[in-house]
């Protein structure tokens, strides 16, 4: 029978098939070829032996979070507690866009800011929306639900930003565990410790464990294509938009067409590749 992996807890893979759930183990052959089943995978299972026999080719996959066949990534970013990081935000966006995963940015904890503090984020919010990345507050639930209709959506973001809280806002009866960040960080642990798909009838959302650090998951030569607003038609085909002559992106920046923090973050990511250990091996 064909089904989808909806939950993984240690070595127990829960597969949903025709409305039934089966707790399965993957066959040993996957380990031998270095293939680890992920939440979101479409799999063939044997319901008598409760084994996963094969995994369908993936449309896409992420490493962090560990998910496959995703339509949309909701990039959950807090405006405070933990502090807003435009660098992490741009990195999370870059990591998904070339995989045909549509990013949506959801900003949390705006209620902990004063009106003035919140208004400082308005130009940033407007900018991301203007380049086609929907960006909204976690209070704008109806807008969010309309954007994700019919999709398999993963949440991604640092630990403590409010991923599970967002799911609870949409469906309070799920009552997912959440924890104050000072407590969570004090325990040195993430509150959500496994990856699981939740069914909301109109859409599916994957809750995932947060992270404290994130690596780039793109080849260096593709990074410039993962900044959606960059016009890569520079004089040199392989222009990295740093100091090259005839650089369109530098022109865009000077004309105010690119948000300064986006370009700075791009440059910082280019620098990150200098640390060879962070270069994705693919």
Ligand X SMILES: Nc1nc2c(ncn2[C@@H]2O[C@H](COP(=O)(O)OP(=O)(O)OP(=O)(O)O)[C@@H](O)[C@H]2O)c(=O)[nH]1
Q: How far is the CB of 165 from ligand X (least distance, A)?
A: 3
249 forms part of the interface with Zn ion (CB under 5 A): yes
CA distances from 148 to 45, 127, 172 (A): 29, 21, 18
The whole-angstrom distance between residue 191's C-alpha and the CA centroid of its chain comes to 17
Residue closer to Zn ion (CB basis): 120 or 251: 251
Residue 210 to residue 181: CA distance in whole angstroms: 12
Residue 138 binding Mg ion, by CB under 5 A: no
- We find the least distance from the C-beta atom of residue 210 to ligand X, in angstroms, to be 2
Q: Could you say whether residue 258 binds Zn ion (CB under 5 A)?
A: no
Distance CA 144, CA 153 (A): 11
CA 261 to chain centre: 20
Give min distance, CB of 266 to Zn ion, in A: 11
Q: Which residues of 81-109 are buried (b: 16+ CB within 10 A; e: fewer)?
A: ebebeeebbbbbbbbbbbbebbbbbbbbb
Q: How far is the CB of 92 from ligand X (least distance, A)?
A: 13
- Torsion angles phi and psi, residue 11, rounded to 5: -110, 20
241 belongs to the binding site for Zn ion (CB under 5 A)? yes
Assess 154 for contact with Mg ion (CB under 5 A): no
- Does residue 38 belong to the site contacting Zn ion (CB under 5 A)? no
Among all chains, which residue has been given the structure tokens 């599916």? Answer: 204
Measured from the CB atom, the residue of 69 and 77 that comes closer to ligand X is 77
- Over its C-alpha atoms, the chain yields an Rg (Å, rounded) of 20
Residues contacting 3, CB < 8 A, separation 6+: 15, 16, 17, 18, 22, 42, 43, 45
| Biggest alpha carbon–alpha carbon distance for the chain | 65
Q: Which does 4 bind (CB under 5 to 8 A by kind): Zn ion, Mg ion, ligand X, none?
A: none
In whole angstroms, how close is the CB of 38 to ligand X at the nearest point? Answer: 18
Q: Taking CB under 5 A as the rule, does residue 108 contact Mg ion?
A: no
Binding partner of residue 91 among ligand X, Mg ion, Zn ion, none, CB under 5 to 8 Å per kind? none
Number of residues that bind Mg ion (CB under 5 A): 4
Comparison of 141 and 240: residue with beta carbon closer to ligand X: 141
Q: Which residues of the chain form contacts with ligand X (CB under 6 A)?
A: 108-109, 111-112, 138, 157, 159-165, 178-181, 184, 190-192, 209-210
């Amino acid at each position: 029978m064909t089904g989808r992996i909806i939950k993984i807890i240690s070595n127990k893979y829960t597969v949903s098939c025709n409305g039934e759930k089966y707790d399965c183990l993957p066959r040993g052959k996957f380990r031998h070829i270095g293939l680890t089943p992920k939440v979101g995978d479409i799999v063939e299972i044997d319901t008598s032996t409760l084994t996963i026999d094969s995994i369908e080719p993936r449309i896409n996959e992420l490493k962090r979070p560990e998910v496959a066949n995703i339509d949309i990534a909701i990039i959950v970013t807090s405006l405070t507690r933990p502090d807003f990081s435009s660098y992490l935000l741009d990195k999370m966006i870059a990591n998904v866009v070339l995989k045909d995963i549509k990013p949506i940015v959801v900003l949390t904890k705006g209620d902990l800011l004063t009106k003035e503090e919140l208004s400082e984020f308005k130009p940033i919010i407007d900018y991301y929306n203007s380049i086609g990345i929907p960006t909204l507050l976690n209070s704008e639930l109806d807008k969010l639900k309309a954007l994700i209709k019919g999709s398999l959506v993963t949440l991604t973001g640092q630990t403590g930003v409010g991923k599970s809280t967002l799911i609870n806002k949409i469906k309070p009866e799920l009552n997912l565990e959440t924890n104050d960040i000072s407590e969570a960080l004090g325990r040195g642990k993430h509150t959500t410790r496994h990856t699981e798909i939740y069914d909301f009838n109109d859409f599916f959302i994957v809750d995932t464990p947060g992270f404290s650090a994130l690596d780039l998951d793109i080849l260096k030569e593709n990074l410039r294509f993962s900044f959606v607003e960059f016009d890569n038609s520079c004089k040199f085909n392989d222009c990295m938009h740093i100091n090259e002559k005839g650089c369109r992106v530098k022109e865009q920046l000077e004309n105010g067409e690119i948000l300064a923090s986006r370009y700075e973050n791009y440059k910082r990511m280019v620098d990150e590749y200098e640390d060879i250990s962070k270069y994705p091996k693919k």
